[in-house]
Amino acid sequence: MTFFGVNYLLSGMHSYGVTDGVSTVFIYIVLAFAAIGVLALLSYRKRDTILK
């Protein structure tokens, strides 16, 4: 995560890849974490309705 933050997303002394844009692998990782978060939230809500 630090590699992408320093080399791709920020500008300044260490922004070597700033003209390349955000890597597609980074986008897939973010989407995977978002999907896991949504599934966890849905599971938590369903658990609350079942236990009541």
pTM for this predicted structure: 0.53
Q: Are 23 and 1 in contact (CB under 8 A)?
A: no
Counting the structural domains of the chain, the total is 1
Question: Which of the pair, 45 or 20, is modelled with greater confidence?
Answer: 45
Domain that holds residue 6: 2-51
Distance CA 22, CA 30 (A): 11
- Residue range 2-38, pLDDT digits in tens: 555 555 555 555 555 555 666 778 888 999 999 999 9
* Residues in contact with 10: Cβ distance below 8 Å, sequence separation at least 6, in sequence order: 18
